[in-house]
Structure formats: structure tokens, C-alpha cells
Amino acid sequence: MKRLQLSLILLIFMIPVKAQEFYGMTEKNIRALMERDYQGLTPDNMVRNNLFRYLRYHSADDDETWIIFLDDRNRCKGVRITYSNTLYDTKISELNRKYGYGEGGKWSYRLERNRIAVTVHRDEWFFTVTHVRM
């Protein structure tokens, strides 16, 4: 019985987590991944910023907006997701499941050789989840 439990635990840790782990990915790969895995999000090419390069996606109901920041080589250097406060409890539970219990709205995970910090900031009408390299 203990052998079966140990096998199941190991299997769970080996299953890849579908998350915002884009750090270092190229713009082309990010676009393909977003189209394939996040079909509820639409690319938004209407907003441009001359200071930062980024990709922006939003949900039809505007409860979710993703901004994926790119460096000068068109590789992801961070992700900021803004959610409606109605999704707060659900998303915090998701973060706790994916990265372990996060004390004070902070989590971290390892992605290849990088350590990624995840922080949550809550405002009156929305909250943001930010993924950046530590």
C-alpha cells in the first residue's frame, strides 16, 4: 500500500503544471502556446507602447487580462495577469496548488536555471498576479 501511495505522489509531481511559465520563451512560441492552450483569451494588438515590448491578451468578459513582457531579443522577461476580484479565491487556490502555500501573497518556482517570483497585489476592483525572475 505504501508503495502505491509513493508511486502516486511521484506521478503527481512529474505531471507538468499548465501555468504562466513563459520566462525565456520566444514571442513566436508564446503566441502559439496561447492560441493552443488559452483559447478563451484574445490577442489585443490595439494598444502600443514605445517604451516596452509586450503581448497583450484579454478574455471576452474582461475578467482577465494578460501582459507578457518581452526583452530586446523578443523573449519573455515577465508576465502580469490582471483578474476581476470575483476570481480571487479561485486563483489563490490555484497558486497554492501549483506552487505550494504562498505566505503573504508570494510564491516562487524554479524554471530551468531561473527562480521565478510570483506575487499578488489586490486592489478594490481587481488583483494582479506577477511572474518575474528573482
Q: Give domain status of residue 108, yes or no.
A: yes
Contact assessment for residue 90 and residue 99, using Cβ atoms and an 8 Å cutoff: no
Q: What pLDDT was estimated at residue 52?
A: 80
CA separation for the pair 34, 23 (Å, rounded): 14
pLDDT digits (tens, 9 = 90+) for 34-86: 999 999 999 988 767 777 899 999 999 989 999 999 999 999 999 999 999 99
Q: Give domain status of residue 9, yes or no.
A: no
Residue 28, C-beta contacts closer than 8 angstroms, at least 6 positions apart: 74
CA separation for the pair 30, 25 (Å, rounded): 6
CA angle, 56 then 60 then 64, to 5°: 55
Q: Give domain status of residue 4, yes or no.
A: no
Host domain of residue 123: 19-133
pLDDT digits (tens, 9 = 90+) for 58-69: 999 989 999 999
Q: Give domain status of residue 7, yes or no.
A: no
CA separation for the pair 97, 48 (Å, rounded): 35
Q: Give domain status of residue 52, yes or no.
A: yes
Q: Give domain status of residue 120, yes or no.
A: yes
Residue 100 pLDDT class (50, 70, 90 cuts): confident
Task: Supply the pTM of this predicted model.
Answer: 0.79
Burial class from Cβ neighbours inside 10 Å (0-12, 13-18, 19+) for residue 3 reads exposed
Q: Give domain status of residue 1, yes or no.
A: no
Q: Give domain status of residue 13, yes or no.
A: no
- What's the domain count of the chain? 1
The Cβ-side half-sphere exposure at 51, using a 13 Å CA radius, reads 0
